[in-house]
Structure 1
Amino acid sequence: MKRLAVEQLGSIPSGLYTPIEHALNESAIRAGTPGARRTELASLLTLRQHSATYVMRFRQQVAQGFDDFRALRIRHRGDLPMGLVAENQLEFHLSGQRLAEAIDQRYSRPLEMMEGRLEALANALDVPHISNPIGASRLAGAFIETFRDAELSESLRPMMFRQYEQELARVLGDLYGRVNTLLATAGYGMVETSSRPKQAPATPAPAAPEDRTAASDAQILAEFNQLRDMLHVWREGLVQGEPLTAENAPQRTLPPRRELRVDEVVSVASLLQSEPPDVFARALAGSGLLGDAIRDHLSDGARRLGINPDQTRLSVAEEDAIDLVAMLFESLFRTHSLLDRARRLYARLVLPYVKVALTDHSLFASREHPARRLLDAITEACEGNSAATPQDRELLERAAAVAQRIVADYNEDLAIFELAHTELDALLTQQRRRVELQEERAAKAAFGRERLSDARARADEIVNHRLRAQPLTQAVGDFLSTPWRHHLVQTLLREGQDAERHAEALMLGDALVVVDEFASDNRGRAVADRLVTLQSAIVQCLASSGLDDSASEHGLAGLVHSLAWPDVTRRVHQLMPVNTPHEDEAGEERRLWLAGGTATIAHDPALAERMRRLLPGEWVRITDAQGEAIAAKVAWVSPLTSRMLLVNRRGIRVLVASAEELAALAAQGRVSVEAERTPFDEAMRQVRHRLGRVAGRC
């Protein structure tokens, strides 16, 4: 720890001067007085000239903190000099206190974890526990002691403190993580710090959310015990007095032998943990049962440690741990869209999770278990991730690095899982924001298509009503069915049904029908007057279809020419279907197996009602046309059609469907609304269902 701290922190004082010098020069240039910062620059030059001295003094201060912790240099009270503090030194110390508070606030979680581990280390060394050698107060004190005799002006001092804090921010996160990992790997777990004040017993209060969570965990623990009962029935090979089929048979039966102790199995797993996980990757690929692969690998490792597998066997609890971890990982690959590139990553984690399951049964009972949260984070990073974008590639690489870190550093201290989760979750937080933006874009696109479809349907109804009402010339019929229809759609989308502009568009269509009737009666003067009055509106209507002034004038001329002949052929017209970009998207929608958004398909009304109660943020499990299971979230419910937009964990649209369509898919076994929110919970639900089906308890 001392070596790491001195290496990473030791050069910080030498890096303070250049950024401050640049800031001073820029400030002087902005102020228009280049010589205004001459005093501060001169002081900075003096500090730079003595840089080597300050670096050495700072390194000594950092190293001294570790010597003090080990009680190699304990100062007696009589050794401490006493005296008054000068006013400028008092301000220096106050700045140091503010710095310590900022560091303590920014790194509160890793510092709290380190404090507990350092107390355990102090107890092991049988020395009194003093402050953290690289804690906030120590780092602030090291800076103050390093520059205690430096001449710092009132304007330069805060700049030095700010730059020191920025330089610390570059290294402290990594340093604290490595020190915590080093302590955890060495076996120093967190203990309750004796110096922390004990809280008085609280008076009884109504059940808080934490109480409800505890009750929920108790329920999960009861379910876990039931799960073990089903697992025992499954393993013993009997279900309600009948032998199991070959498909559901247990993975093996063992003759009576000496039961291995948990520490022996953990030692074997630790020996094998860093070896290539090829055997587990092949099992997850479907070439064999993962539970068999784990047992065979442990048997081989036991032989290498001098434990004869022919004379020993796993205990029931150890069998449970292996089977549950194997089923957990198999279920994750069955129920989540994990691509081939993720298989080796998960294979690396098999033995560490076997070790966790052997030593800590709360892995399957507590939703806040650090190993459980880490597996959820890794699955969130990997599910459906094809590395198509730089952000997705970074997520995969970080998840792989986290898995490798677990393999390298896990030594029965769960803190490594918590640290790894914190590291990965920081990147996932950015990813979740990108996913939210992707969901918003998908919802806006879906809503835009629905509004367009609704506007076209309304416009078609209006146009058809005019076309069928009476015989019209070809020119008027064409005008109403094409440019006027498009103009109606535009006004509906932009202005709304009750807008004045939409009313004017309706009046134009009705007026043209009247003009056509005047023309058929040979009322030339009335036709001419009306066309003059409508000229501006007709040109605007044609322009809304994308025609320029020349084309609009040409279209108007064609309309006038047609209406100038009273005996021209007239007939009742029919609006022809128009191929639009929206309708061309039907192929894409069908690829997403969208049935059309209507309630006319065969469905179970009760199921449809259940689907209708789904709210944004709820998760379902969907099986696509290729048989692949997908976790999908209800991202948006249309205010127009009540159709639901479902997206995957990357925020990409996977389905847009009505409640009736979802009910039809559920009847086919392709939609399940009982999905859990987190991957671990969903995988365990599938494990319970699998064992319950075998044991006849579903």
Structure 2
Amino acid sequence: MSNHPLGAACATRTDPFRVLEEIKRLTLERLGGLPGTLYGPIEDALALSATHVDRDAFQYEDQAALWSLRHQQAAQVMRYRQQLARGFDEFRTLRAPGRNYLTMGLLDESQLDLHIAGERVGEALTQRYQKSLEMVEARLHTLAGTLGLQNMVNPVGPGRLATAFVEAFDGVRIPAQLRGHLFGFYESALARVLDDLYGQTSHLLAQAGYGIERESAERVSAASEAASGANAGASGLGAAPSVTLEELRGLLHAWREGAIRPELFSAPHAPQRTLQGRRDLRVEEVVSVASLLQSEPTDAFARALAGSGELRAAIRERLGEGARRLGLSPDHTTIGRDSEDAIDLVAMVFESLFASQELHERCRRLYARLVLPYVKVALGDRALFDQPEHPARKLLDAITEACAGNNAETQFERELFERAALVAQRVAIEYRENMAVFEQAFAELDALLLQQRQRVFLQEERAAQAVHGRERLQHAREHADAVVGRRLSAQPLCEATASFLGTSWRHHLLQVLLRDGVDSARFAEAVALGDALVEADGLAARAEGRALATRLVALERAIGDCLGSSGQDDTAAQHGLVALVRGLAWPDAARAVHPLPPRADAEDDGEDRKLWLAGGTDTLPPQDPAVVQSLRALTVGEWLHLTDAEGKTIKAKVGWISPLTSRRMLVNERGSRVLVASVDELAALVAQGRLAAAAAPRAFSEALAQVGERLRRATA
């Protein structure tokens, strides 16, 4: 750590290029060989899965691909090291790539899978090492300032490390299960070294005189507040309160010890009290009982998850039966406080999952199999409730991602559910206090989930393209209508001219706007045609026949093109031209100022109106400026809680921001559009309590937060 006070810079600093070279050397030393260390654990994981899955063809494909990758190991390590070094080159030269939005058609499906897997690894590690990254990046910002760089990309940030790994396998096709293992074990390997790497990097920067100056310190403080959700609460969006294990245990103890209103619970559901004359079972004894039972039928747990009873009571009853079988009579023993904590928290987490996630009835048996294994994990490892990246939490998150909203309507959805059921069964059979079972089960399921995430990504892209297309159409219609309306109201026109301008010319303007844009030469020519026809109508009204004939001859080709853009063939276009000429041939024809006629395609507006809240922003009252500002700052990928018209709360992500209207398109976890609205309209939802900030979907973390809220209400 730096010895310099906050806000003070070292009087003498080491040459920044030398410092960067030292960090680069350290990074290559600690990470440079990682790709070559992954194949042994992957081979073990494939061998384990082969004993449980009847998928010989796929297993052969995975083994063959692994054999090929092993033979290219040296080249992969070299490319990986080159990519790590490239990150430092980009830092020095400001060749920052920024966020890469994948463009449809530029990557084949295999490469898209790699990029999606890399993004997931980067996001997971960024969340895990957020505080360490804030310190490192603040010091790097100070160093960048001495080089005159205004922006920078952290060369040792998780996103850059994920990109380096993806690029190491550029052009390589990797089967889904093997790809899941590859990125899963890479993430685990990084997790074992990043704490030290970030600590040493921060120390090197501080020792070289690049401490955190005041501006950077404020940035770190602001980022920390954002991570905790404080900024969302201040802006009025709100956020789910974070909860610690100690807080949960305190609430549980208060609940059990009677610090609640008695009328909240009936006698059968009341918390267990201390029983006189009975010793507490040791944690090891409870684990032994759970191990005895975990592979047996779990109908009682499935019934409890269906709402026919409390899961915590069902677990206690089942453990009591198992204790008798092991000679631990309930007449002389009872479950101790620590074991009670584990049982209650696991039960409440599973109940919250079924209360908050869209889980179908067939999921009950799948989750019921997992109850006792998770009780065992909770009994022996408190990190289950403290660490979002705990292997058992990651697996439950993955299983919930596979099952939530899965109606098994397609072959892929059925396969995904069957794979989730298979890994749940494996955990129930194999878990013997070895977390590798959870890691391997997660890697296998995540390989298939990567395909689902790709489908969600493509669904979001299609939804954004559809909305963008309709907005472009609506924008072009409004612009064309404004141009036509001004010509129709500028001077009295005969019916033939007004009809042509309000139909054929109007459609022509729309087509040119959509194809070429408002600033194009073609649009200028299209507008000039309308102005020329208005002038020609004036010539006709003044009986200037020769000038009118000359003008119409000069416009003949442009008028033909205009009629042709409406899909008319040459014959129909000639008839249209004749009708226009015939109308202009009579100087004494009635002339009037004409209103803009209704569009023939007005029925299409019904779909447009569905894209945003009815009424538009002109009917909304003024909104809280702080809320509007916070909503305007939302970026693509940020999550919100949205309550729909039926009162159901769903998680929605900002999937796209319109470049035309700045409206935000919100999509659900399956990538389907749920709402398109302006910032002011979203602010109105916030004011109604229908929109609030949310964390990225983590089923276990959400359930744990709901457990905390449930206990807070009970002890209020």
Q: Is residue 2:445 matched to residue 1:424?
A: yes
| Equivalent residue number for residue 649 of structure 1 | 669
Q: What are the residue-to-residue correspondences of 1:243-642 with 2, within 5 Å?
A: 245-246=264-265, 251-256=270-275, 257-578=278-599, 579-580=601-602, 582-586=604-608, 589=611, 594-595=613-614, 598=617, 600-602=619-621, 603-642=623-662
C-alpha change, 1:111 and 1:493, in structure 2 (3 Å) is same
Q: Is residue 2:108 matched to residue 1:108?
A: no
Q: CA deviation digits over 1:409-437, x for unaligned, max 9? A: 11221110000011111112232223222
Partner Cα separation in structure 2 for residue 667 and residue 433 of structure 1: 35
C-alpha change, 1:255 and 1:227, in structure 2 (3 Å) is closer
Report the secondary structure of 2:202's partner residue.
Answer: coil
| Equivalent residue number for residue 206 of structure 1 | 202
Matching residue's letter, 1:261: R
Q: CA deviation digits over 1:145-200, x for unaligned, max 9? A: xxxxxxxxxxxxxxxxxxxxxxxx99x979x99xx9xxxxxxxxx9xxxxxxxxx9
Q: CA deviation digits over 1:2-32, x for unaligned, max 9? A: xxxxxxxxxxxxxxxxxxxxxxxxxxxxxxx
Q: Give me the identity figure in percent.
A: 54
Q: What are the residue-to-residue correspondences of 1:94-105 with 2, within 5 Å?
A: none
Report the secondary structure of 1:673's partner residue.
Answer: strand
C-alpha change, 1:311 and 1:594, in structure 2 (3 Å) is farther
Q: Is residue 2:682 matched to residue 1:686?
A: no
Report how far residue 338 of structure 1 moved.
Answer: 2.7
C-alpha change, 1:253 and 1:545, in structure 2 (3 Å) is same
C-alpha change, 1:263 and 1:434, in structure 2 (3 Å) is same
CA contact (8 A) 1:235 1:250 kept: no
CA contact (8 A) 2:243 2:704 kept: no
CA contact (8 A) 1:277 1:348 kept: yes
Partner Cα separation in structure 2 for residue 527 and residue 502 of structure 1: 24
Report the secondary structure of 1:355's partner residue.
Answer: helix
Partner Cα separation in structure 2 for residue 247 and residue 461 of structure 1: 69
Report the secondary structure of 2:641's partner residue.
Answer: strand
CA contact (8 A) 2:643 2:690 kept: yes
Report how far residue 501 of structure 1 moved.
Answer: 0.4
Partner Cα separation in structure 1 for residue 199 and residue 343 of structure 2: 43
Q: CA deviation digits over 1:469-495, x for unaligned, max 9? A: 222222222222222122112211221
| Equivalent residue number for residue 660 of structure 1 | 680
Q: What 5-or-longer segments of structure 1 have no aligned partner?
A: 1-100, 116-134, 141-168, 181-189, 191-199
Return the index of the structure with the highest Cα Rg: 1
Q: TM-score, normalised by structure 2?
A: 0.65
Report the secondary structure of 1:568's partner residue.
Answer: coil
Partner Cα separation in structure 2 for residue 413 and residue 484 of structure 1: 74
Report the secondary structure of 1:554's partner residue.
Answer: helix
> Looking at both structures, which has the greater relative contact order when contacts are Cα pairs under 8 Å and sequence separation is at least 6?
2
Matching residue's letter, 2:703: A
| Equivalent residue number for residue 185 of structure 1 | none
C-alpha change, 1:510 and 1:278, in structure 2 (3 Å) is farther
Matching residue's letter, 1:252: P
Report the secondary structure of 1:238's partner residue.
Answer: coil
Partner Cα separation in structure 2 for residue 273 and residue 427 of structure 1: 26
CA contact (8 A) 2:431 2:437 kept: yes
Q: CA deviation digits over 1:613-666, x for unaligned, max 9? A: 211121122233334332222122122221112222222222222222222223
Report how far residue 365 of structure 1 moved.
Answer: 0.6
Q: Would you say how many aligned residue pairs link Structure 1 and Structure 2?
A: 516
Partner Cα separation in structure 1 for residue 302 and residue 492 of structure 2: 74
| Equivalent residue number for residue 122 of structure 1 | none
Q: TM-score, normalised by structure 1?
A: 0.66
C-alpha change, 1:563 and 1:428, in structure 2 (3 Å) is same
Report how far residue 202 of structure 1 moved.
Answer: 11
Q: Which of 256, 263, 270 is equivalent to 1:235?
A: 256
Partner Cα separation in structure 2 for residue 360 and residue 432 of structure 1: 31
Partner Cα separation in structure 2 for residue 447 and residue 665 of structure 1: 23
CA contact (8 A) 1:477 1:573 kept: yes
Matching residue's letter, 1:418: E
Q: CA deviation digits over 1:514-545, x for unaligned, max 9? A: 22222222223232222221111112111111
| Equivalent residue number for residue 17 of structure 1 | none
Matching residue's letter, 1:453: Q
Report how far residue 283 of structure 1 moved.
Answer: 2.7
Partner Cα separation in structure 1 for residue 201 and residue 267 of structure 2: 49
CA contact (8 A) 2:178 2:447 kept: no
Partner Cα separation in structure 2 for residue 320 and residue 577 of structure 1: 68
C-alpha change, 1:502 and 1:205, in structure 2 (3 Å) is closer
Partner Cα separation in structure 2 for residue 393 and residue 594 of structure 1: 36
Q: CA deviation digits over 1:373-425, x for unaligned, max 9? A: 11111122222222333322222221111111111211221110000011111
Matching residue's letter, 1:629: T
Partner Cα separation in structure 1 for residue 512 and residue 204 of structure 2: 53
CA contact (8 A) 1:334 1:629 kept: no
Report how far residue 304 of structure 1 moved.
Answer: 4.4
Matching residue's letter, 1:253: Q
Report the secondary structure of 1:206's partner residue.
Answer: helix
**Which stretch shifts more, 279-288 or 596-605?**
596-605
